[in-house]
Amino acid sequence: MSPFAIIALVLILARAIAELWLSRLNQWHVRAHADEVPTTFCGMVDRPTYHRSINYTLAKSRFGDAVTVFDTALLIAILFTGVLPWAFGESAAAFGTSVFAVAGFLFGVGIALSIVSLPFGWYAQFRLEGRFGFNTTTTTTWVLDRLKGFLLAALLGFPLLTLVLKLIEWTGPSWWIWTAVVVIVFQLLLLLIAPAVIMPLFNKFTPLPEGSLRERLFALASRTDFPTRSIEVMDGSKRSQHSNAFFTGFGHFRKIVLFDTLVAQLTEPELESVLAHEIGHYKLHHVIKTMAASIVGEVVGFAAIAWLARQQWFYRAFGFEYHVGFAAANVAPAMLLPGLLAGTIIFWISPVIHIWSRRFEYDADAFARATTGEAQSLIEALHKLTKKNLSNLTPHPLYSSFYYSHPTLLERERALRSG
């Protein structure tokens, strides 16, 4: 094995060990608090709900462990058994090395990997979520979702992949700049059209009916200078009892979306505080900052890929042959391998990103408190959502600081009550 292959293998194994260890730590912490409802939550959650949340947390955690072991074994098998160079050779022999053929090969690998993970997705939805009463997805909806996802990938992803490979051939050494620009513009366009074109493929959106809730939320939107054309209710209950709120699109296309499950679970003041929190993300420029950070991340990523694509040792480490030049077939392994390793790299960066995102959550909470003039409704809303979603009330601190994009309930409540 080459030194680089060994480094990659160590990173992959270290990730798996860290994931399993953190999960074990968290399971142990949850079990240690399982007998009695911790005093902090006594007034908030009853015993049966608390125990259900513990069982749900442990069941999800054990399932996550199985997925970790499987994914790690699969990734190691794909990277180090020579199956990729072999498949690439077979594909080249059968379909040639045109841009279309190479894009087809890369696309095929992606599809194959997503097919392998289908049973896990099925189990998570129908068994795990089903056991705790969250699943409302029918088999038909689930199958149709997968088919629509595949069609979207074929209609949008495949042409983009082809264009990227073409760009590499056309522009040579500076390809990564052009590619980054094209991919980023494509993503922004997608973000723009998603609310109008893509999301309706999966869900039904209906304007929030006339009434006091609608008046209240529009009043909040205008008070916070957040012009919105519509507030819509999405039939989230078509798939799950979990609830959420978000806004989507920009400028002219912007709309606020509430899950029907959320509308059913919360009172009007609570919904107002949740929406104020979401508007906070927008007004405090969290959306733009997150987008800017991901654009920077992508440019760095493409630059790294372009650099790797010129390193012989990189190809050799995974059993590929290195050919000088910018033909699609030469660069394809340099596109594929970082794609496969991306999850491992992002895993090690994610705790830092989460520190950032938790700070945004605190700021959005403070914004909601300032605009609604009170903290109690948001706290009530968080309590209800925590109970309804059977969220883990006692995560291990190391676990939550590594994985959580939001502060824990206790942390948010403390911040909302103070200052």
Q: Which residues are catalytic?
A: 278, 365
- Shortest CB 280 distance to Zn ion, Å: 8
Is the CB of 358 or the CB of 396 nearer to Zn ion?
Answer: 358
Sheet holding 245-248, edge to edge: 205-207, 230-234, 255-259, 245-248
CA contacts within 13 A on the Cβ side of 178: 14
Is the CB of 19 or the CB of 361 nearer to Zn ion?
Answer: 361
Is the CB of 129 or the CB of 361 nearer to Zn ion?
Answer: 361
Is the CB of 186 or the CB of 362 nearer to Zn ion?
Answer: 362
CB contact at 8 A, 159 and 106: no
Instruction: Could you list the beta-strand ranges (E) of 270-331.
Output: none
Is the CB of 361 or the CB of 413 nearer to Zn ion?
Answer: 361
Site for Zn ion in 174-193 (CB under 5 A): none
- Shortest CB 406 distance to Zn ion, Å: 7
Q: Is the dihedral of CA 184, 254, 371, 42 positive or negative?
A: negative
Cβ neighbourhood burial of 151 (10 Å; 0-12, 13-18, 19+):
exposed
- Shortest CB 361 distance to Zn ion, Å: 5
- Shortest CB 285 distance to Zn ion, Å: 14
- Shortest CB 277 distance to Zn ion, Å: 6
CB-based contacts of 268, cutoff 8 Å, min separation 6: 212, 213, 216
Select from 12-20, 207-215, 266-274, 360-368 the region that touches Zn ion (CB under 5 A). 360-368
- Shortest CB 238 distance to Zn ion, Å: 23
Select from 133-141, 237-245, 346-354, 363-371 the region that touches Zn ion (CB under 5 A). 363-371
What does the block give as tokens for 268?
């009007």
- CA proximity to 50, closest of 383, 411, 378, 375: 383
Select from 122-130, 146-154, 311-319, 356-364 the region that touches Zn ion (CB under 5 A). 356-364
Select from 103-111, 128-136, 231-239, 355-363 the region that touches Zn ion (CB under 5 A). 355-363
Q: How many chain residues bind Zn ion (CB under 5 A)?
A: 2
Cβ neighbourhood burial of 225 (10 Å; 0-12, 13-18, 19+):
exposed
Is the CB of 28 or the CB of 246 nearer to Zn ion?
Answer: 246
CB contact at 8 A, 55 and 27: no
The span from the CA of 198 to the CA of 2, in Å, is: 44
Site for Zn ion in 364-403 (CB under 5 A): 364
**Contact footprint for Zn ion (CB under 5 A):** 361, 364
